[in-house]
Structure 1
């Protein structure tokens, strides 16, 4: 019962994170200090990605990179922030799921280990009982040999010379 609700909750969180990211985009475009900050982030991101693309495609890397105009920079930064928010939420959910799964597996492993320990203890108890019964059987056989009752009980070790069992009198 808990697992389906938990999965439903994580799915709802993922779904709700997209509108939150969109709202964050809208708000980020209007705050002046934040706008300046995100423009600088967008320009840095633009320079890095342009250099990487030039290196990948073997173009000249020493050419000056023209900065984005302010509106494109704001839009690029806001998109980057929105994507980072969605990615962070998805990453947090993934980590949560992995930890939950890990705890579940640890509980199962603990149950298996306890079951194995129980079986080992039972096996040791049975081995002890078998050994005790073996000793008792040897004692009974010894007693029967001393009293000459081999033929009456038809015991395993009684008069087996020549491969014949003694017949009762």
Structure 2
């Protein structure tokens, strides 16, 4: 039941991430320092994209890659902020899920270790009990042997009788 609630919570967070990403985008684009950093990141991504595209087309050598217009840079920067938030949220959810799974696995492993230890202890008790029973059996066997010897001695002294009943006169 707890796992189901946890999964529903993660799904809810994932669903809420899109609107939150829009708010994050608005915040970043409204903050002067963050805005400048995201625009610089967008310009860098543009240069990287052009370089990758040229390489894929088989063009070699360095080419001048001009900066994007302010409008395009703003558009790409807002996408970067939004997608970056979603990516970060996805990673956070993945980390939380992995942590939960690791704790679950650790608890399961600990339970298995406890069960193995209980089985070992039970086995040791059984071995100890078996040893005690074998010792008792040896003792009883020795006592029986001594009693047989005594009985034989007494029969020799008294003479063997053919019945269990004493002879009457």
Q: TM-score, normalised by structure 2?
A: 0.80
Q: Cα deviations across residues 9-55 of structure 1 (Å, max 9, x unaligned)?
A: 11111111101112333454455554433322211111122212322
Do the aligned partners of residues 36 and 129 (structure 1) sit closer, same or farther apart at CA in structure 2, a change above 3 Å counting? closer
Partner residue, 1:98 = 98
Partner residue, 1:111 = 111
Higher RCO (CA < 8 A, seq sep 6+): 2
Partner residue, 1:24 = 24
Match of 2:139, SS state, is helix
The aligned length equals 150
Do the aligned partners of residues 61 and 78 (structure 1) sit closer, same or farther apart at CA in structure 2, a change above 3 Å counting? farther
Separation (CA, whole Å) in 1 of partners of 2:95 and 2:33: 33
Q: TM-score, normalised by structure 1?
A: 0.80
> Which runs of structure 2 are paired with 1:13-162 in the superposition (5 Å)?
13-30=13-30, 34-148=34-148
> Rg: which structure is higher?
2
Partner residue, 1:4 = 4
